[in-house]
Homo-oligomer: A and B are copies of this chain.
Amino acid sequence: MKEVAKRAGVAMSSVSRVLSGHPDVSEPMRQRVMTAVDELGYQPDLLAQGLRSRTTYSVGFVVANIANPVLAGAIRGAERRLRAAGYSLLLTDSEGSPVLDAAQIELLQRRRVDGLLLSLSDEQDTQTAAAIRALDEPIVLMDRDLPPGISAPRALFDHRKGMRQAARHLLELGHRDVALIIGGPFRPAHERRAGLEATLRRGGARCAVFEGEFSVKHGYATTVEILNRVPRPTAIVAGGNMLMHGALRALVEADVQLGQDISFVGCDDTAVAEFHRPAIAVVHRDVEAIGEAGAELLLDALDERRDRKMKDVTLPTKFIDRPSCAPPPRRSRRAKNRSGGDPALSR
């Protein structure tokens, strides 16, 4: 590297910045260094460098499911923030499997990342918790509860808030029999359920909960089941974008008119919701923001390892009303004629 700096006529630190892919490097500087690298046939070796300095300027992101479009947003936000600080991001996909979560954490550790962002497939899995406890590197949990025996900062969404708003809206429209489709052994599922269920019950409504995996398949199969129930719930809430995808597929196939035959609330303004008619009411959140917030927490931890703060950052969610929600069919006249809210709500 000294030779490269000498040949290029630049400082060692400039060579280091170019070779680490630092964003604040001018194009002429980059070309000057790379020309010298080429001429000398120099092979910068991060593994050997890492063995010496114990720092590789890279961060691992264990992604529960790369096919979840919401996670693409979080990755984008995290990568942007980390890159600005000179770090590269290495991603892995666990396909929703806790066995893979544990294996990916071990892989990234052996690849000598400086820290990890964890969007776990199952926050209660004991193998995953063991893999995390074996880490010396700082971690940040991405919208997950702490696995047993772990303490770490977290970037979170306030899922209860948006779900409470959705529940209040359904109660105001007159719904008293609601089905919630929920999935995944992780925090967003628990929180969404807690927010919706408590508010509905306090308002005097039934809330039938259908738990399963966090997948399009579970959303689809459960919706088929709900539509065949007697009496049929007057509203369906899908607690996650992939569950919403499956639920909407089943509703379209059954030719059920949302807002007329049944009301529907989904999660996240993904492409799935965009082209559905009528428009889909959703609990909205800023997914890039959680990526940035998680990266920021990790950068804090990397800066001051000895004095790590265990602070959490919580971002809001918000219910957006759209025509997929309307008064339930049999009660629509009564609900429309009411001037105020539902008396059950003021309890």
Name the contact of A93 in the complex, choosing from B89, B104, B248, B277 (C-beta under 8 A): B89
Asked if A1 CB lies within 8 Å of chain B CBs, one says no
Q: Assess whether A318 is interfacial by the CB under 8 Å rule.
A: no
Stretch from A7-15, A44-52, A185-193, A202-210 that touches the partner: A44-52
**Which residues of A301-335 are within 8 A (CB) of B?**
none
* Bound: A41/B166 CA distance, A: 49
Known: A34-B130, A56-B111, A72-B72. 15 other contacts (CB 8 A): A21-B103, A21-B107, A30-B127, A45-B110, A47-B50, A47-B110, A47-B112, A66-B72, A66-B76, A66-B91, A89-B92, A90-B90, A90-B111, A245-B271, A248-B275
Which of A46, A104, A245, A277 gathers the greatest number of chain B CB atoms within 10 Å? A46
The answer to whether A67 has its CB under 8 Å from any CB of chain B is yes
Q: Which residues of B contact A271 (CB under 8 A)?
A: 69, 245, 270-272
Contact between B272 and A46, CB atoms less than 8 A apart? no
A249 in contact (CB, < 8 A): yes
A38 to nearest B CB, angstroms?
Answer: 7
Closest to A90 in B: B90
| A residues 68-127 in Cβ contact with B at 8 Å | 69, 72-73, 75-76, 79, 88-93, 95, 100, 103-104, 106-107, 110-112, 127
Q: Which 3 A-B pairs have the closest CB atoms?
A: A46-B110, A21-B103, A91-B91
CB contact list, A45-67 vs B, under 8 A: 45-51, 56, 58, 66-67
Q: Please pick, from B50, B51, B107, B249, the residue contacting A274 in the complex, using a CB distance under 8 A.
A: B249
Among B34, B51, B88, point to the contact of A92 (Cβ < 8 A). Answer: B88
> Roughly how many angstroms separate A67 CA and B72 CA in the complex, as a whole number?
5
Residue pair B111, A93 in contact (C-beta under 8 Å): no
> Could you list some 17 contacts between A and B, CB below 8 A?
A19-B106, A34-B130, A45-B110, A45-B112, A46-B110, A46-B112, A48-B51, A58-B107, A75-B93, A79-B95, A90-B90, A90-B111, A91-B92, A245-B271, A271-B271, A272-B274, A275-B275
- A186 nearest CB across to chain B (Å): 19
Task: Tell me the nearest residue of chain B to A83, going by C-beta.
Answer: B100
The 8 Å CB contact of A107, one of B30, B46, B130, B245, is: B46
Residues A90 and B93 in contact, CB atoms below 8 Å apart: no
Expressed in whole angstroms, the Cα–Cα distance for A14 and B271 within the complex equals 45
Q: How far is the CB of A117 from chain B (nearest CB, A)?
A: 13
Chain B residues with CB under 8 Å of A103's CB are 21, 88
Q: Given the complex, which residues of B lie within 8 Å of A93, measured CB to CB?
A: 75-76, 79, 89, 91
* CB of A254 closer than 8 Å to a CB of B: no
- Docked Cα-Cα span, A93 to B76, in Å, equals 8
